[in-house]
Structures are given as C-alpha cells and as structure tokens.
Amino acid sequence: MDIRRWNESQEPDADDLRRRLETEGYSVTEYSDAPGTIHEPHVHDIDQTHWIISGELEFNTAGEKYRMRAGDRDFLPANTEHAALVTGSEPVRYLIGVKK
C-alpha cells in the first residue's frame, strides 16, 4: 500500500478531489463512517484508492498501521487484505475510487 500525504496549502475540497479522481479514470463513491466504526479484514479483487476529505482513518495491512487524515490518499492494490478503524471523535468522510 502506498500513501500520499496532503501537502497543499488549502484544505481538501470534496468536489475537487472527486474531479481529480475522475480525471485519472476512476469511478468515485463518497462514504462517511461514525467514530469507532470498524471495517474487519477483507480484500477486493480490484485496485482502489481512498482519499480522506475530513476526519481520521487508520488502515491496517500487512501488519502495518497507517493513520490517514484530511487530504491523505492511499493506493491499495487488488487482493491486499486490509482493515480500517475510524479514529478520533468526528466522523470520517472519504472517497473511494475504482478504475473504470
């Protein structure tokens, strides 16, 4: 799993992030999970990218933990087992992109 940390001067904007993903050829869906939400270990048969709009999400894969915050993005190859936990006291909003 590869992670790109947000380093732009402005806060992430959901519409802008969606446009960027669509330009890269992704179909995009927005999700929101409440604090404490757990996604148990699972796999997908397609490559995915997750882009955090707001809040925090901890990804666990291959024995490593990755805390993602607003603007951070991952690249998750197909068939990579992963789990996630919504950390912090606010919901997490994020986009999931899958290649068309």
Exposure of 69 in the CB half-sphere (CA atoms within 13 A): 6
Per-residue pLDDT tens digits for 51-82: 999 999 999 998 999 999 999 999 999 999 99
With beta carbons less than 8 A apart as the criterion, state whether 50 and 94 touch. yes
DSSP letter, residue 11? P
Q: Would the pLDDT of 1 be above 90?
A: no
Domains in the chain: ranges and CATH = 2-99 (2.60.120.10)
Is the pLDDT at 94 greater than 90? The verdict is yes
Give yes or no for residue 42 having a pLDDT over 90.
yes
Residues 22 and 39: their CA atoms lie apart, in Å, by 25
Residue count of the chain: 100
Asked if pLDDT for residue 100 goes beyond 90, the answer is no
Cβ count within 10 A of residue 82:
19
pLDDT of res. 64: 93
